[in-house]
């Protein structure tokens, strides 16, 4: 019997190169090729130690509070939502929120999935290029449309052109929202206040709302101002700000994130949409309870500000180390970065050409790499050869839904000397590959 089609048409847009490249690396490992992983943004897996005082808070909850083992309210633990609303309301000039404007999720990815899935099929969200693939994939999955994006320009420090954003909105009337990640993944850019205000002004003119993934909001450095979405919306532009514990505690395994639903009453349609987000969460009963209960005790601890400042300085030093190295490598474009813990390198136009390769001693590994390179993007081809030849795994930049060729590395290895050796290995591979 022939079954009718089952899979949603938009599945073709589900791509997550950050994890997909792991399958390639694991295949090489099975052939005996050791791999240095520079692709996944998990600080704990990369070797960062969680502060003992944070572990003590979690251990105390597990040992002495049975509620941490139970379901919590669907929106999230009330005391935690009250704490977060109060913190949000302390931001100078920020949109005011109440506890019912906070919605807890099983990680930011859970929220991203809901945000895009619960829109009308023909509604569109304009987002950056490069863009974090969880956003672009979920947007493309819903309607099975080509991605609608504005360009982040490495020549301008990875910042967008506001005129391009407005033109994309003007000539695509199905756009209902503008999305961004700030600080940005994969580029490490931080949107200046003036740029954010310009994006909000466009949203105001065209009746849109703004989605801002702020998961890296506590990792801002090199002297730039940290500006939250709530501080630029005013009282008339709706928005969703996404935040979480994963990157700044760090506690990625907690799968604990939340949405700030901002200016709900400014738009009946947006208010209805936020209500649907809450109802969708109710279908899951609730998000994980333990990290929600720990959150006020961690963020409210007197040691927390120093913890944030120390980590920001740590990533500043690493980002500057990476920039200083790649700015001397021929054939690539490197720019200073100001936030998150990633660094994106782009290849100069025309540098990557068919037929380029790297020596791979093992014939089986060489044959596997060559077969895997059939029909792939030029930067992914380089990454495959580098993994086969030297064993360094980075993420091809085209995996972030962009036509720019390059790669993203993390700033997570706690060993500065080992990071320097990894940079040298990547640089040597680039020079050999392009014949410099």
Q: Which residue has the tokens 């000039």?
A: 93
What domains does the chain contain, in order, with CATH numbers?
9-48+305-434 (3.90.1150.10), 52-299 (3.40.640.10)
Burial 164-180 (b: 16+ CB within 10 A, else e): ebbebbeeeeebbbbbb
- Neighbouring CB atoms inside 10 A of 30's CB total 9
| Residue 12 pLDDT | 64
The strand ranges marked E within 182-292 are: 209-213, 239-244, 257-262
d(CA 147, CA 136): 7
| Residue 134 pLDDT | 87
| Residue 313 pLDDT | 98
Count each helix (H run) and each strand (E run) in the chain, helices first. 13, 14
| Residue 7 pLDDT | 67
| Residue 10 pLDDT | 67
Please name every residue paired with 344 in a beta bridge, in sequence order, or none if there are none: 408
Cα torsion 390, 393, 394, 398: sign = positive
Q: Over its length of 436 residues, how does the chain's per-residue pLDDT go in tens digits?
A: 677 776 666 666 666 677 788 899 999 999 999 999 998 889 999 999 999 999 999 999 999 888 999 999 999 999 999 999 999 999 999 999 999 999 999 999 999 999 999 999 999 999 999 999 888 888 888 877 788 999 999 999 999 999 999 999 999 999 999 999 999 999 999 999 999 999 999 999 999 999 999 999 999 999 999 999 999 999 999 999 999 999 999 999 999 999 999 999 999 999 999 999 999 999 999 999 999 999 999 999 999 999 999 999 999 999 999 999 999 999 999 999 999 999 999 999 999 999 999 999 999 999 999 999 988 999 999 999 999 999 999 999 999 999 999 999 999 999 999 999 999 999 999 999 999 5
Integer-rounded Cα Rg, in Å, for the chain is: 22
- Contacts for 97 with CB less than 8 Å, ≥ 6 apart: 85, 88, 89, 230, 260, 261, 262
How far does CA 345 lie from the centroid of its chain? Answer: 16
The strand ranges marked E within 185-294 are: 209-213, 239-244, 257-262
Give the single-character DSSP code of 348.
Answer: P
As a whole number of Å, the end-to-end CA separation of the chain is 59
| Residue 352 pLDDT | 97
| Residue 39 pLDDT | 87
């Amino acid at each position: 019997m022939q079954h009718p089609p089952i899979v949603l048409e938009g599945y073709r847009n589900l791509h997550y190169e950050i994890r997909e490249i792991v399958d390639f690396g694991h295949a090489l490992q099975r052939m005996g090729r050791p791999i240095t992983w520079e692709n996944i943004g998990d600080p704990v897996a990369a070797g960062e130690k969680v502060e003992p005082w944070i572990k003590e808070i979690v251990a105390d909850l597990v040992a002495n509070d049975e509620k941490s083992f139970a379901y919590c309210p669907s929106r999230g633990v009330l005391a935690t939502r009250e704490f977060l609303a109060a913190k949000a309301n302390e931001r100078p000039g920020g949109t005011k929120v109440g506890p019912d404007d906070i919605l807890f999720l099983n990680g930011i990815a859970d929220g991203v999935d809901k945000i895009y899935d619960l829109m009308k099929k023909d509604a569109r969200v304009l987002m950056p290029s490069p863009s974090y693939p969880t956003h672009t994939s979920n947007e493309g999955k819903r309607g099975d449309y080509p991605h609608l994006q504005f360009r982040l320009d490495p020549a301008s420090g990875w910042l967008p052109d506001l005129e391009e954003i407005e033109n994309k909105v003007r000539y695509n009337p199905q756009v209902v929202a503008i999305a961004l990640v700030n600080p940005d993944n994969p580029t490490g850019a931080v949107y200046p206040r003036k740029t954010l205000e310009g994006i909000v002004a466009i949203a105001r003119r065209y009746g849109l709302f703004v989605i801002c993934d702020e998961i890296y909001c506590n990792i801002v450095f090199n002297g730039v101002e940290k500006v939250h979405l709530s501080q630029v919306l005013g009282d008339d532009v709706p928005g969703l700000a996404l935040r979480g514990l994963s990157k700044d505690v760090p506690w990625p395994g907690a799968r604990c994130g939340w949405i700030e639903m901002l200016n709900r009453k400014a738009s009946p349609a947006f208010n209805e949409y936020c209500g649907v987000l809450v109802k969708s969460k109710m279908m899951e009963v609730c998000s994980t309870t333990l990290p929600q209960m720990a959150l006020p005790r961690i963020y409210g601890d007197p040691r927390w500000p120093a913890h944030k400042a120390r980590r920001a300085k740590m990533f500043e030093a690493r980002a500057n180390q990476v920039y200083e190295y790649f700015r001397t490598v021929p054939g690539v474009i490197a720019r200073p970065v100001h936030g998150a813990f990633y660094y994106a390198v782009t290849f100069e136009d025309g540098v990557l050409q068919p037929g380029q390769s790297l020596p791979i001693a093992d014939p089986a590994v060489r044959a596997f790499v060559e077969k895997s390179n059939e029909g792939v993007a030029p930067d992914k081809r380089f990454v495959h050869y580098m993994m086969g030849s030297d064993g360094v795994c980075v993420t091809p930049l085209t995996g972030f839904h962009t036509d720019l060729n390059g790669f993203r590395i993390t700033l997570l290895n706690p060993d500065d000397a080992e990071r320097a050796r990894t940079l040298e290995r990547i640089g040597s591979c680039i020079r050999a590959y392009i014949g410099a």
